[in-house]
Amino acid sequence: MGRLTDDNGDTIGLSWKLSDSDMDLLERAGLAALYMTLRAAEEQVGDAKADALRKVLRWNMTHESVELRWGKPEAAKSALEALLAFAWQVRDGVLYLPAVHRDKRQRETYFLRLTEHNGVLNTFLQLEKIQPRGNGESRIEAIDDDKEFVFRFQSLAGQVLAPHKSRTISALVGKKGLKPDDVELSSWIKPGSAPRFSESEKGWCSTADLVVLLMLAPIVCLYQELQGTDRPKSDKKPWIRLKDHLYVCPDVRHLDEFDATRPDVRLDPINTSGLGDAALAFVAEYTSRSLRRESIAGCTVVAMGKVTYYGGKPGQKESNQSIRKGIVDIWTEQDTIRRYRILHRTMPSTFRPKSDVYADGSKPEVARPRGEFKVPSARGRIADNLMKRRAWYSDIAIPPRWEHHALKKQQDEIKKKENKHVSIERLWFHNLCRYQRRQLMELANEQTFWQSDQERQLHEAFRKVLWRLVEREKLAAQKRSGSRSEEDRIEDLYDDLYRRLTRAKTRDLLRRELTQIMAEPPGRFSRPKGLREHLDAIWALVNDRHDWKKAQDLALLTLASYGQFRGRSDHSNIETSEGDKA
C-alpha cells in the first residue's frame, strides 16, 4: 500500500496489494470491491457514470494489486467522487452495486437486489443520521403466472448515499489533494464499534488510503437474518422486522478468481440458524462455484443486533444502534464442507403457512397465502460444531444463544396456558425430539459424520438398550390393568432418562448413570449384542478423563433421535432393525 507522487511530492494516485501489512480482512474485501467495480466500469461502455469514471481516473490491476492514477493532485476529489458515484447507486429506490450486480436482469429488477439493500441498511448504514431513508414500501410482484410476492423495504429514492456526502469526501481530500494525515469518519465503515463509553472517543480514525477501501467493503459482503431473534414490532413503524442481522466478509486471496466467482454466490437472506451455519453456507457455495476448486475459501461472520446496555438514554429500552453480538472466523477443509452439504440436504428450511387472521382478529382486504420459512434449529448447533472441528453431536442438548429469544417466548406461552415453568434447555430438547427426530436419525446413519468407530458403537448400543427399556414398559402396561397407559409410561421413561443424563455433571456421576441405565433391562431384555461385543471400547469412552462428555452427548443424541416426549405417540421408530432384538 502506498501513494504515487509527482516530482513535487504531491499525491497523484494510490496503490494497494493484498499482501500489504495494513490490509486486514475488511480492507482486502474493500480492495476486491474496488477491483470488481473497475471491471464493471470497463464492461459498461455507454453508461454515463462509467464513462465519467473513465475520464477522470486511470487504473492498472493484477490478480493481487490495484493502482489508481488521477494525474494532478487537485483532481483527487473529482476522481474519488466519480468512483464512489459509480460504485454506490440507487435504482427504483433500491441499492444498485455494479460490482456484484453484473447481470442485466439484476440491474433492471429491483427485488433481485433487495438482499444487499436490506443487509447494508441493517448493518453498515443502519443509522438514519448516517444514511437517511424514506418510508417503508410494500410492492406486489407476480413472479410466476400463479404466484405473487409482497416485497417490503425502506426506499432510498431521493436520498443522498453516505459515501456520496460532501463531508465524507471532504474528510479525505483537501485543497492540495488527498490528505496526508489521519482522517476521522463515523463508524459506519466498521459497524458495531461505535464510541459509547465517553464523549472523547472517535468513531473511526486512520489513513485516507484505508478509508477508500473500507467505504467499498460493504459491496462484496453477504447478508442474512438470524432466525429466532424476532422482537416486538415498533408502534411507529410496524412494518419493520426487528431481527438480528449478520454479514459475511470473505477472505479474499486472489482478485481475479474472486471477481469471477462472487457475482454468482448467493446466500438465502433469511434461512440461517447461526454464525456457523452462515459461514459454512458461504464456504460451500463459494467453493462449488470457484474456478480453482483446490483453494478453500475463508470468511468472517459478524452478527449485529440491538441491546439494552449500550447507548440508551434514561428510560430508553434500547439504543438506536446495533452492536456486534458475535464474531466467527473460519478457514475450513474439504471434509467439513462435505459434511455441511450433507447436513444442509438433510435439514433444509421449510415453509410454514400462517393464518389469514391477524393477532387482533382482523382480516386482510385481499386474501393471500401467508407464511414464513423455518430453519431447523439443530442445524445451527451442528454447523457450529463442524466449524470448530468438534464432534457433530457436541452440546446437542444445549440451545445456541441465538435461539434463546424464541425459546423464552415459547416458555412464556406455556406458563400462560398451563401455569407451569419449563426451562429453555428442556424446551429445546423437546423441540428436537418433536420436529427434528428423523433428520437426526439420518445424520447418525451417515458414516462420514462419525470421527471414530468408538462413538458410533456407543450410539448404537445405547439405542438398543433404549429399545429394550421401551419394550419393558409396553409389557408392563399390558400386564397391569388400571395402571398408567403405555404412552404415559414411555413418556415418563424418557423424562426420567433425560433428567438423569443432564444432571450428571462429572465423569463419575455420568459413569454411574450410564452403568445403571445399561444394566436395567432384565430377563429376555438382557444386554444387546452390540454392547457385549464392544464393551471395552464403550467403557473406555465413558471413563475417558478428557472425552467423557462425548458419552453424555451421544446418549442425549440417541434420546433425541429415538425418543418419545409429550405430543408424539410414535414409538415404532425405536425398533429400526431385527438387530435391535439381538
Q: pLDDT tens digits for 204-228?
A: 777 888 889 999 999 999 999 887 5
Averaged pLDDT, 248-267: 92
Which three three-digit cell numbers place residue 545?
478423563
- Amino acid 358: pLDDT: 55
* Residue in 107, 76, 73, 105 with CA at minimum distance from that of residue 90: 107
CA 243 from chain centre, in angstroms, equals 12
- Amino acid 381: pLDDT: 93
DSSP secondary structure string for all residues of 539-570: HHHHT-TTTHHHHHHHHHHHHHHH---TT---
- Amino acid 470: pLDDT: 87
- Amino acid 570: pLDDT: 45
Averaged pLDDT, 170-182: 80
Phi, psi of 158 (to 5 degrees): 80, 5
How many angstroms separate the CA atoms of 192 and 270, rounded?
A: 21
* Residue in 430, 436, 470, 458 with CA at minimum distance from that of residue 576: 470
Q: pLDDT tens digits for 83-132?
A: 999 999 999 999 999 999 999 899 999 999 999 999 999 889 888 888 88
Q: Strands (DSSP E) along 332-457, which ranges?
A: 350-354, 370-374
- Amino acid 563: pLDDT: 57
Return the minimum-mean-pLDDT range out of 285-294, 534-543, 567-576.
567-576
Binned at pLDDT 50, 70 and 90, residue 370 comes out as: low
The more confidently predicted of residues 324 and 92 is: 92
User: Cα angle at 477 between 476 and 480, to 5 degrees?
Assistant: 80
Residue 89's SS3 state is strand
Question: Is 62's pLDDT higher than 90?
Answer: yes
Q: Give Cβ neighbours of residue 36 (< 8 Å, ≥ 6 apart).
A: 99, 100, 219, 220, 258, 259, 262, 263
Q: pLDDT tens digits for 375-421?
A: 888 999 999 999 999 999 999 999 988 888 888 888 999 999 988 89
| Percent with pLDDT over 70 in the chain | 82
Return the minimum-mean-pLDDT range out of 47-61, 79-93, 155-169, 419-433.
155-169
How many angstroms separate the CA atoms of 223 and 207, rounded?
A: 27
281-314 core/surface letters (b: 16 or more CB in 10 A; e: else): bbbbbbbebbeeeeebbbbbbbbbbbeeeebeee
Question: Is 339's pLDDT higher than 90?
Answer: yes
Residue 448's SS3 state is helix
